[in-house]
């Protein structure tokens, strides 16, 4: 029997990157106290779930995604008691809390890794991936790494340990060694920790790169591109051989006997529609929904994320349609355009200068009217643009800094490298939340840990909520529409005019109800095809009524076409 419709089918999630949200202590770093001070902002927006990026104790080599104590809040962000206060404040407002679960890897300062590293005979040696040098090589010499896998952040995915004369695997930085999920003891420790958080009142987890946890134990070499030093190991760890077994075991150990409403979200880079269907088929008891990356990779060239080539709208329509149709009967998708790793959408795919409000609300419309669970990233609800940094000294992100150093080492033009960072750096999403037009944007009373973005002082919560054209108020209406309409949350999706270079049009249907969504993804006026002109306006991002035969620059319309022919 098909399970009943889950509570999260009409929910909206808001993501907070804590160090950039609000500083309550005057040290320039956002914290839990700052979040507590702004809970009314979240309640006013109307969201159902708060996703909190890592706040655990961490050396902060990768901004908290290197955890050294999974049960303690890092003092940068506050205390465990403050987290309890945050939970109480959220639950009192009808908002759930999900936390980041980072268990593909730990910090190199995590006690289990320190013990594992202490000796080859350590009982925890097998908790991580330790290997001898490649046969025929001397430990520590170039090329002696156990395989040729490259790290996500540049260089080898292996680091040599002088004390024990072996290498350990880290798909990210050397300070983030990968856990060996083949060892049942490792898995049980993870499940024990997850249960501990749920017992404290947390409502679920967003699971960081969760489809990396199962690796081919043989750790074979990956394919190297011509001229490249490091190979692509992803075929041997992305959606690995035991991933479904591990996730089903996790569900059984952590969630199967719990009463209540929980949420499990899997970040799954490289997952296809078919794989996502397996992850999120509710009868398989693995994940509730996935984060996939296909649509946010379409403006990247063959050189990867910093090889910007621009977006072809037809490609995005193809991708979104594939995922909408592919998960229509089984499975569920997370709907997002922004998060802590992506450039701001109004800068990336919109017009941050002349049509910031219009393009911000257009993209919100196209996203929130799809089937799936929408995510709002802090600042997205006021149309914050990307950072606009002009020098390398402004950047803080380890991925960006490593790319800059490596690109210059290879002889690339400095200005070209900075331009690629301006477009695609993760720091574009990590500038401080702009609350007011006052000093430090109301984020802090002192200089923030990272410079303010170029949208300051024009763009702020204070200014937007007082403006006639308010991105925030538009998001409120979109969220309310999803809450009130099963057509929006559960209806079928039908892409229209897929090849049009600037018109984004689709229809949602459920029974005898139908909505038509139109968007002009350009700064020029656009004629509406005659067969799409009819309908009663439900919501639009222009304040004044327009000609139904014409879409103004970056205009979005949601039309009720239930009673119209073909509706």
Helix (H, G, I), strand (E, B) or coil at 367: helix
| Closest CA relative to residue 324, chosen from 508, 169, 124 | 508
CA distance 300 to 303: 8
| 550-551 vs 526-527, strand pairing mode | antiparallel
CA distance 223 to 205: 33
Reported as type and span, the H/E element at residue 334 is strand 334-335
Contact 239, 275 (CB under 8 A): yes
* Contacts with 231 (C-beta within 8 Å, 6 or more apart), sequence order: 147, 148, 149, 150, 221, 222, 223, 224
Q: Could you identify the residue written with the tokens 């150990």?
A: 253
The DSSP code sequence of 167-210 is: EEE-SS-TTSPBB-TTSHHHHHHHHHHHHHHHHTT--EEEETTG
| 204-207 vs 96-101, strand pairing mode | parallel
Concerning whether 208 is annotated as a catalytic residue, the answer is yes
Contact 361, 351 (CB under 8 A): no
How long, in residues, is the chain?
567
Print the SS3 string covering 494-537. Answer: EEECCCCCCEEEEEEEECCEEEEEEEECCCCCEECCHHHCCCEE
Concerning whether 145 is annotated as a catalytic residue, the answer is no
Among 48, 203, 208, 286, the active-site one is: 208
Among 23, 100, 267, 294, the active-site one is: 267
Q: How many CB atoms lie within 10 A of CB 514?
A: 22
Contact 267, 65 (CB under 8 A): no
Instruction: Provide the annotated active-site residues.
Output: 208, 267
């Amino acid at each position: 029997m098909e399970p009943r419709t889950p509570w999260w089918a009409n929910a909206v999630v808001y993501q907070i990157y804590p160090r950039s949200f609000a500083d309550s202590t005057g040290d320039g770093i956002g914290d839990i106290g700052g979040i507590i001070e702004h809970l009314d902002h979240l309640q006013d927006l109307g969201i159902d779930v708060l996703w909190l990026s890592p706040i655990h104790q961490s050396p902060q080599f990768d901004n908290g995604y290197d955890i050294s104590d999974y049960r303690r809040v890092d003092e940068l962000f506050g205390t465990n008691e403050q987290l309890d206060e945050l939970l109480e404040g959220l639950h009192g407002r009808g908002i759930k809390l999900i936390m980041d679960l980072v268990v593909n890897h730990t910090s190199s300062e995590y006690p289990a890794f320190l013990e594992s590293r202490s000796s080859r005979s350590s009982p925890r040696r097998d908790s991580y991936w330790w290997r001898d040098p490649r046969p025929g090589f001397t430990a520590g010499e170039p090329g002696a790494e156990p395989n040729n896998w490259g790290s996500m952040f540049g260089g080898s995915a292996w680091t040599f340990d002088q004390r024990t004369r072996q290498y350990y695997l880290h798909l990210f930085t050397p300070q983030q060694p990968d856990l060996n999920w083949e060892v049942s003891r490792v898995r049980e420790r993870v499940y024990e920790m997850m249960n501990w958080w749920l017992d404290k009142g947390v409502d679920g987890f967003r699971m960081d790169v969760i489809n990396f946890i199962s690796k081919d134990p043989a750790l074979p070499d990956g394919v190297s591109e011509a001229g490249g030093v490091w190979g692509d190991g992803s075929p041997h760890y992305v959606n690995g051989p035991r991933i479904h077994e591990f996730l089903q075991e996790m569900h059984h150990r952590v969630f199967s006997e719990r009463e209540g409403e929980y949420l499990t979200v899997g970040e799954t880079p490289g997952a296809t529609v078919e794989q996502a269907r397996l992850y999120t088929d509710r009868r398989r008891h693995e994940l509730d929904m996935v984060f996939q990356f296909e649509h946010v990779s379409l403006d990247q060239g063959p050189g990867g994320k910093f090889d910007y080539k621009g977006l072809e709208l037809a490609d995005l329509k193809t991708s979104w349609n594939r995922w909408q149709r592919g998960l229509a009967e089984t499975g569920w998708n997370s709907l997002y355009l922004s998060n802590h790793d992506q450039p701001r959408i109004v800068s990336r795919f919109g017009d941050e200068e002349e049509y910031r409000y219009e393009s911000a609300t257009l993209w919100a419309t196209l996203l929130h009217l799809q089937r799936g669970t929408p995510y709002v990233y802090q600042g997205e609800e006021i149309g914050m643009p990307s950072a606009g940094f002009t020098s390398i000294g402004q950047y803080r992100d380890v991925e960006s800094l490593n790319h800059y150093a490596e690109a210059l080492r290879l002889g690339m033009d400095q200005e070209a490298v900075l331009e690629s960072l301006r477009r695609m750096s993760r720091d574009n999403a990590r500038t401080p939340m702009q609350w007011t037009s006052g000093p430090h944007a109301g984020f802090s009373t002192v200089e923030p840990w990272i410079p303010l973005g170029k949208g300051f002082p024009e763009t702020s919560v204070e200014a937007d909520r007082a403006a006639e054209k308010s991105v925030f108020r538009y998001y409120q209406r979109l969220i309310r529409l999803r809450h009130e309409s099963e057509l929006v949350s559960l209806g079928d999706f039908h892409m229209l005019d897929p090849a049009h270079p600037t018109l984004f049009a689709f229809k949602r249907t459920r029974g005898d109800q139908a909505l038509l969504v139109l968007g002009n993804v350009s700064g020029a006026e656009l004629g509406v095809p005659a067969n799409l002109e009819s309908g009663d306006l439900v919501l639009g991002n222009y304040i004044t009524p327009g000609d139904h035969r014409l879409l103004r620059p970056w205009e979005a319309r949601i039309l009720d076409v239930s009673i119209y022919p073909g509706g």
